[in-house]
Amino acid sequence: MQLTPDQTVVFTLGQWQVNATIVNTWIVMILLAGISMLVTRNLRADKAPGRWRSALELIVTMIQGQIEEVTRSSARHVLYFAGTLFLFIAASNVLTVIPGFVPPTSSLSTTVALTLSVLVAIPLFGIAKGGVRQYLRKFIEPSMIMLPFNIIGEFSRGVSLAIRLYGNVMSGVVIAAILLSIAPFFFPVVMDMLGLLTGFIQAYIFAILATVYISSAMADPPLDTSDKDK
């Protein structure tokens, strides 16, 4: 039994073996980008939105609303990043209902890649907002002693993000495969329904956590109480 689609080689490009994780990621990408292109190709301000456009507007505004609730601001760059995380993870998890499709999020390589993206994005957003000095200063808050703990905390939350998503998705797929061998007609349906729910929840949690980390990096530093006392 294969626990990760990384081990499934779909085709080979020269010496590079293209595995199912990458191919399935491309499928999800084509699906998301294709639908977006089809719906938004002829947008006009004076024309009433159609059914598909309304659905996309609803999704985007919901994501934007959630991000604004967390960050208390309406930065579009955060929306692009966190929204893409959510849509990619959610679409990957939803596609588990298609028989034979292994979601790329069940690959630790994918979750690590997404986590690395988040870990890189956090300082980038923080530096873009307040500069390098302000971002680095957070590691020595409230005192210099906290520097190693803050560094460990920064990496550990990245690791937890990756492991959480990978564990949940991979376990769901594995359990579904095991139950399919025991009771092929009943349990897969239930597990797929649960998989849809947990898939959305995982996508939401991953995106929200990423947003929280980014917003904490973008947050203004606390006021210096010693200066205030003077």
Partner 1 sequence: MSIDWITVLAQIANFLVLLWLLKRFLYRPILDGIDAREAEIAKRMADAELAQQEAKAAERQYIKQRAQLVSEQDALLEKALQATEKKRDGLLSDARTQLQQEQQNWRKYLEHERQAFNQRLQQTGADALLRLTRKALHDLADEHLEDAIVRHIGQRLKPIAAELVQAAAGSQQAQVTTRDALPAATQALLQKEVQQWLPDVTLSFATDPQQSPGVIMQVGGAQVAWTTDSYMDELAELLTQHTSSVAAVHLTADGR
Distance between first and last Cα of the chain: 67
Q: Cα 141–143–146 angle (5° rounding)?
A: 80
Instruction: Report the residue from 2, 65, 80, 216 that binds partner 1 according to the rule CB under 8 A.
Output: 80
**Rounded to an integer, what distance in angstroms lies between the CA atom of residue 19 and that of residue 14?**
13
Applying the rule CB under 8 A, the residues between 151 and 170 that interact with partner 1 are 166
Tell me how many residues contact partner 1 (CB under 8 A). 45
Least Å from the CB of residue 61 to partner 1 = 7
**Distant-in-sequence, close-in-space partners of 177: CB < 8 Å, separation ≥ 6:** 1
Taking the least distance from each CB to partner 1, the nearer of 114 and 209 is: 114
Helices (H), the chain: 20-40, 51-71, 76-94, 108-130, 132-137, 147-182, 187-218, 225-229
**Distant-in-sequence, close-in-space partners of 16: CB < 8 Å, separation ≥ 6:** none
Of all helices (H) and strands (E), which one includes residue 9?
Answer: strand 9-13
8 counts as binding partner 1 under rule CB under 8 A? no
Least Å from the CB of residue 86 to partner 1 = 11
**Rounded to an integer, what distance in angstroms lies between the CA atom of residue 176 and that of residue 107?**
16
183 counts as binding partner 1 under rule CB under 8 A? no
Least Å from the CB of residue 21 to partner 1 = 6
Least Å from the CB of residue 101 to partner 1 = 16
134 counts as binding partner 1 under rule CB under 8 A? no
Instruction: Report the residue from 107, 198, 202, 215 that binds partner 1 according to the rule CB under 8 A.
Output: 107
Choose one: 58-66, 175-183, 206-214, 217-225; the region binding partner 1 (CB under 8 A): 58-66
Q: Are 85 and 206 in contact (CB under 8 A)?
A: yes
**Rounded to an integer, what distance in angstroms lies between the CA atom of residue 133 and that of residue 58?**
39
**Rounded to an integer, what distance in angstroms lies between the CA atom of residue 206 and that of residue 115?**
9
Choose one: 38-46, 94-102, 144-152, 188-196; the region binding partner 1 (CB under 8 A): 38-46
Instruction: Report the residue from 66, 78, 81, 206 that binds partner 1 according to the rule CB under 8 A.
Output: 81
Interface positions with partner 1 (CB under 8 A): 3-4, 6, 16, 19, 21-22, 25-26, 28-29, 32-33, 36-37, 40, 43, 45-46, 49, 53, 56-57, 60-61, 64, 76, 79-81, 83-84, 87-88, 104, 107-110, 112-114, 116-117, 166
